[in-house]
Amino acid sequence: MAILTEALTRQIVKEINETQEETRRGLAQRRHDIYHDGGKRFLIEAIRGEFGEDSVREMRIAPINVLKPIVNRRSAIYRNGPVRTTELESDQALVDAYTQELDVDNVMHKAHKYFNLFANTAIYAIPKQGLMGLEVVPPFLYSISPNKLNKTEIDIWVFSAFLEGGQIAPTRSVGPATGKQQFEKNQGYRTRPDAVASEEIETDTMRRQYIFWTDEMHVTTDEKGNWLKLDPEREMEQFVNPLGAAPVVKDYQWHIV
């Protein structure tokens, strides 16, 4: 059980922005981009570092993505949807409806790909246009705080945009204690201290928010870890997790869904 305090969220945000965590997220994002056919810029970077700028100008660079077919071949679970049956016949229609509505087979197939690509991933249950949805989140878009006594258990999940390299931005603002949050890949790039793409300027505030989830609490913070009171009239009640559990399927659980 993790009790969130403002001092704790400030400390966690500080750690997220330190070199070790930024390096972890940066390497994961690079792997993600290479898998999605975005490896050319990394190849150019390597050639420039090894042979110089002249070599980059002289070469005809056409990278071949060998990572994607390897990952896809290894990701056989949910390629063909499993058959789900219930003990009570009356429950079958409900299970079938949820499977279709949440697009469970495709979500789990993507999760298996990301598990093989990153060795860990998470499935985030979030509202989409008023309906519950499942989002497969790559590990550069979240950080975790494990249980102090059992490091295999996760006490705190923190979802946030990654501001180094390729821009990853939330597609909409965060609602009051509902977890309304999803992420998309945006092809703009950010160079300190200026934002390059117009969308990056428009979503700068959202990108600097951190979404904290524990089984007991749900908190949105600013870039320093200070709590944002999205519903001031509710005082501390707004930070209670109404679900009673963090809305995340851990990487060692998703394969049995």
**Which residues, at least 6 apart from 149, have a Cβ–Cβ distance to it below 8 Å?**
none
**The 3-state secondary structure of 174-222, one letter per residue:** CCCCCCCCCEEEEEEEEECCEECCHHHHHCHHHHCCEEEECCCEEEEEC
Q: Is 256 a domain residue?
A: no
Hey, which residues does 219 pair with through a beta bridge?
A: 212
Which of the four pLDDT bands, split at 50, 70 and 90, describes residue 154?
A: very high
Q: Which residue has the tokens 């509505």?
A: 101
| Helices 104-118 and 67-74, axial angle in degrees (round to 10) | 120
Residue 257 lies in a domain: no
The domain in which residue 176 lies consists of: 6-250
Checking if the pLDDT of 59 tops 80, the result is no
Residue pair 212/195 in contact by the 8 Å Cβ criterion: no
Q: State the Cα angle at 122 between 179 and 107, rounded to 5°.
A: 90
Cβ atoms of 164 and 22 within 8 Å: the answer is yes
| 7 phi, psi to nearest 5 deg | -65, -40
Residue 166 clears pLDDT 70, i.e. is over it: no
* pLDDT tens digits, one per residue of 63-112: 788 999 999 999 988 888 788 899 998 899 999 998 998 999 999 999 99
Q: Are 63 and 43 in contact (CB under 8 A)?
A: yes
Tell whether 26 is covered by a domain.
yes
126 contacts 181 by C-beta, under 8 angstroms: yes
Our count of domains for the chain comes to 1
What's the pLDDT score for residue 110?
93
Q: Is residue 1 part of a domain?
A: no
User: Does residue 49 lie in a domain region?
Assistant: yes
Give the pLDDT of residue 164: 54
Residue 255 covered by a domain: no
What angle in degrees, to the nearest 10, is found between the helix axes of 104-118 and 19-35? 120
In a domain, 149, yes or no: yes
Q: For the residues 39-62, what does the mean pLDDT come to? A: 78
35-39, 49-53, 124-128, 229-233: range with highest mean pLDDT = 35-39
Residue 89 placed within a domain: yes
Mean per-residue pLDDT, 134-138 = 92
- Give the model confidence (pLDDT) of 175-217 as tens digits: 333 433 333 333 333 333 332 222 333 345 556 799 999 999 9
